[in-house]
Amino acid sequence: MKPCLFEDPGQPGMWSPQTPKTEVTAEEKDNYMAKLKQCRDAYASLKKDPPEIPSKCPSGKSVADELCEASQALNKKYKDQMVKWCNRVLAGADCVTGQGGDVVNLNMTFQCNQRVAQALVRFVRGGKTIYAAHSAGAMCMAKSMEMTKEISPGWLETFAVSKEYLLASGIAGGAMFDTKDLDGDGVEVNVLGALPMFESPFAMRPHFKEAWIAEVLEKNKMAEAECEAETGKDISDELVKNSSKGVQAAINLLNIVSQNAADQDCPVFLPLLDGQVIVGEWRGGNEVFHVIGKPTGKPPDTRG
């Protein structure tokens, strides 16, 4: 909704009234809101039973790319206003919370607003604020926001921003993603987490289910194989096997693989049960992870 640019009366329980002082024109706002409406209409189509996969826009672009193009143009033109908003709202908060919900759309939001995402990452890593999120809000800050068998056909084609827009973010000092992130090795660009809070290569599996054990194990074996090939170090096969069943073992694997973070493409997938919280911190320049809380969900059946 671009609260740094557009006036908005707010909605009780959702967001406060916004009264920014900018020179943004009515035409610019109308154009942006039209692109946002395209995304909402596409979302409604995909939520139908049966789903209707939206066609591309008359321009030949997806609704996500058209929204991103309009968003980046506004963020660049009204950079000063956006920076002031980020400093006041994001850096001025003790804790910024990330909501759950539709992970593909939330990820698209950060893709379309990479300047805001980069500011939040900088404030958190600089110790100005804490970022606490659940479900989709946590998945977006990982290497991959992919969730096993949860993303239905049509969603990524409609709502994932194209690589060219991730490269052309116009952020001073470099884009959010480097060549390794965008080369498609290990993680496809369309599922790349758009709020990269950490350098450690991991992905989240919130609300973990027993049916995901085999696929998580396959993903973590790929991370193991790459790390061993590139570092020459041997990783315990038993540790990798256990990483698909419990988040603590997966974090132990991540701490090993993270030593190869600069070159690692394949992320470690963390199986997270409801009621568990992963805490990431920076200690002496190193990223450290640990788990707190007791699972409220039923642990996977690991017999056999």
Q: Say yes or no to pLDDT of 209 above 70.
A: yes
Q: In this structure, which amino acid lies at residue 285?
A: G
- What's the pLDDT score for residue 173? 45
pTM of the model: 0.91
- Tell me which of 173 and 155 has the higher pLDDT: 155
pLDDT in tens, 70-89: 999 999 999 999 999 999 99
pLDDT digits (tens, 9 = 90+) for 99-128: 888 999 999 999 999 999 999 999 999 989
Give the per-residue pLDDT at 150. Answer: 74
- Give the C-alpha separation, 149 to 126, whole Å: 36
The domain spans of the chain are 1-197, 200-304
Residue indicated by tokens 């826009």: 57
Backbone phi, then psi, for 268, in 5-degree steps? -85, 130
Nearest to 3 by CA among 94, 90, 126: 90
Q: How far is CA 225 from CA 13, 121, 125, 143, in A?
A: 47, 30, 30, 18
Single-letter residue type at 240: V
pLDDT at residue 172, rounded to an integer: 47
As a whole number, mean pLDDT of residues 294-301 equals 71
| C-alpha span between 36 and 71 (Å, rounded) | 10
Q: What is the pLDDT of residue 6?
A: 93
CB 37 within 8 A of CB 14: no
Higher pLDDT, 72 or 149: 72
Q: Give how far Cα 51 sits from Cα of 37, 41, 42, 153, Å.
A: 18, 12, 10, 9
Residue 30 in this model has a pLDDT that exceeds 80? yes
Given this model, what pLDDT does residue 286 score? 83
Quick one: CA dihedral 71, 73, 76, 77, positive or negative?
negative
